[in-house]
Chain A
Amino acid sequence: MRRSGERSRTCFVFLGLLLLLGGAALWRLLSGDMAIPLSGALKAVLGLEGVLTPQQALVIQAVRLPRLLASLGAGASLAVSGVVLQGILVNPLAEPYTLGIASGAALGASLGISLGGAWIPAAAFAGALAALFLSLLLAWRSGGFSPLHMVLSGIVIGSVLSAGVTLLKALAGERVAAIVLWLMGSFSGASMEGALVVAAGGFALFAAAWWWGRDLDAISLGENRAVYLGVEERRIKGTLLVLASLATALTVASHGIIGFVGLVGPHLLRMALGPSHRMLLTASFLGGALLLTVADGVARSLGELPVGVVTSLAGGPVFCWILLRGREKL
Chain B
Amino acid sequence: MRGSLRVSGGGIQLDCVSAGYGERRVLDGLSAEFPSGALTMLLGPNGSGKSTLLRLLGGALPFSGNAVLAGRSLRRLSPGQRGKLVGMVSQSPSLTFPFTVEEVVLLGRLPHRKFLSGWTMEDRGCAMEAACEMELGEMLSRRVSSLSGGEKQRVLIAQVIAQQPEIFLLDEPSSALDPRHTLRLFRFLRKCAREGATVVAAAHDINLAAEYADCVCFLKNGRIEAFGDVEDALNDTVLSSVYDVPFASFDADLREDGRWRRVWRAV
- Give chain A's interface residues, CB within 8 Å of chain B: 1, 3, 6, 90-92, 143, 214-215, 217-218, 220-225, 227-233, 270, 274-276, 328-330
Contacts and interface: CB of A to CB of B under 8 A. Distances in A.
B110 interface: yes
A221 B83 contact: no
Contact of A270 (B60, B79, B98): B98
Interface residues of B, number: 39
B108 A229 contact: yes
Contacts of A230: 79-84, 110-111
Most interface-central of B80, B83, B143 (chain A CB within 10 A): B83
Nearest to A147: B96
Q: Which 4 A-B pairs have the closest CB atoms?
A: A230-B83, A275-B97, A230-B111, A228-B88
B94 A223 contact: yes
Contact of A218 (B58, B98, B110): B110
Nearest to A223: B90
A200 to B, nearest CB: 24
B87 interface: yes
A329 B145 CA distance: 8
A234 B94 CA distance: 21
Interface in B54-91: 55, 58-60, 79-84, 86-88, 90
A1 B123 CA distance: 12
B175 interface: no
B99 interface: yes
Contacts of B81: 230
A245 to B, nearest CB: 22
Given A143-B22, A218-B110, A224 B60 contact: yes
Contacts of B104: 221
A95 B68 CA distance: 41
A225 B144 CA distance: 15
A227 B104 CA distance: 15
Given A214-B110, A215-B110, A223-B93, A228 B99 contact: no
Given A223-B94, A229-B163, A1 B58 contact: no
25 contacts: A1-B102, A90-B96, A214-B110, A218-B107, A218-B110, A220-B96, A221-B97, A221-B104, A221-B107, A222-B96, A227-B60, A228-B60, A228-B87, A228-B88, A228-B160, A229-B83, A229-B108, A230-B83, A230-B84, A231-B83, A275-B97, A275-B98, A328-B98, A330-B96, A330-B145
